[in-house]
Structure 1
Amino acid sequence: MTDYTIRRAQRDDVGAIVQMLADDQLGATRDDPSDLEPYLRAFDKIDADPDQLLVVVVSGGEPVGTLQLTIIPGLARHGALRGQIEAVRVRADHRGSGLGADLMHWAIDESKRRGCALVQLTSDVSRTDAHRFYERLGFTPSHTGFKLKF
């Protein structure tokens, strides 16, 4: 695809991003586009942190995809940096177009550009289509994740 651009998200993009987050089986139970205030507060924190990069894919003047890339310093692997990819979403009417793969390749390239030794992500166990997508991109399922909700 060439009819889109990938750029850093702006505050005005938050509504569209939240709509994409809420537009799936898991997000519908966790995210509420009718009240953007908590998302705007989170956006301000993300935007102020140089190790956080929230991006949108814009097509036809509208955000149609998004992801967040976090650069994590660590002591393991000789002090290697890691790129953590989160909240990958493509608007329903753009799924299957190759945009998601292009967005992921962009995040991988940006992680390399920033000096990361690896890129990692987590995906809910119920997202089997997403797992196949990530595996097609070369990711391997290597860990078991755990969460503790508050």
Structure 2
Amino acid sequence: MSDFYIRLYKDSDYKVARQLFNSGNAKHTKKAFKHAMRQPHIWPPLLALLILPALDIVSFTTSIFAVVGAIVFLWFAAWRMYWSYVRLCFLDDMLDIRRYYLEQDGRCFWVAESGGQVVGTIAASPSSYPGGENHVELKRLSVSPSHRGKGIAKALCRTMIDFARHRGCKAVVLTTSLVQKDARKMYDKMGFRLTHNFYRPKPFTKLLDFKILFYQYDIPKLQ
């Protein structure tokens, strides 16, 4: 028997819902940085900086400072990628969750509760992507680190899919980043398929290889 249940969002959930969303995105900074450091286009410039002292172009100290500065810049770029996204959402749909998701047709917001505490969130919104007529977008999926591995994320996704099915929608779509491997594995197991990937038109996305992956789940027609 599960030790959690899923219900509609209430105004008293506001603070924790925003905290879950913020912390869920913040933890990806380290993953994005590590992914960037593994890219083949990152290492030649760093190695070149280390060779410069041997060519008497700069001092060894200057070379080390330059390499450290470049690495710190990559970390900052990865952090800023998620921070700017969270900040934008806090000023948009996460600013007034009730008004945006519960007081507009075709939208909804749920939380997972365990032991009297909110430990997960998920939202549904009409898709704004091209070709997304009669599609619903899965958004704001977050689960507390202390409650992962209990099937909460899957249960939240099923709740959202059922919402879309009952509204007669054809598909559920979502976007996630390349570095969110655990989420991608779950989407694959649930029947979502990767349709394409792209870079957002923001600074440093290609430098970091910060790809956005687009998934779609086609809702089976009722017999």
- The 1:130–1:44 alpha-carbon spacing in structure 2 relative to 1, beyond 3 Å, is same
**Partner AA of 2:197 in structure 1:** T
Corresponding residue for residue 64 of structure 1: 119
- Of structures 1 and 2, the one scoring higher in RCO (CA 8 A, sep 6+) is 2
Partner of residue 15, structure 1 = 15
Cα displacement (A) at 1:43:
4.4
Which protein shows a greater Rg? 2
In structure 2, how many angstroms separate the alpha carbons of the residues matched to 1:132 and 1:75? 25
**Inter-CA distance 70–60: structure 2 relative to 1 (3 Å threshold):** same
Q: Tell me if the contact between 1:56 and 1:63 (Cα under 8 Å) persists in the aligned partners.
A: yes
Give the match for residue 4 of structure 2.
Answer: 4
Determine the C-alpha separation between the residues in 1 that align with 2:134 and 2:21. 27
Match of 2:138 among 82, 85, 89: 85
State the aligned residue count: 145
Local SS of the residue matching 1:122: strand
Structure 1 gaps, min length 5 = none
Question: Residues 96-148 of structure 1: CA distance to partner in whole angstroms, max 9, x if unpaired?
Answer: 00111111111111110111101111101111121111101111111224434
- More deviation, 68-77/128-137: 68-77
Between Structure 1 and Structure 2, which shows a larger proportion of helix residues? 2
Q: Which runs of 5+ in 2 are unaligned?
A: 30-78, 203-223
Select 1:48's aligned residue among 89, 94, 103: 103
Structure 2: distance between partners of 1:95 and 1:49: 30
Q: Deviations over 1:55-95 (max 9, x none)?
A: 11112221111011113489958xx5111101111111110
**d(CA) in 1 for partners of 2:128, 2:200:** 21
Q: Alignment RMSD, CA only? A: 2.9
Where does 1:98-117 land on structure 2 (aligned, <5 Å)? Answer: 98-117=151-170
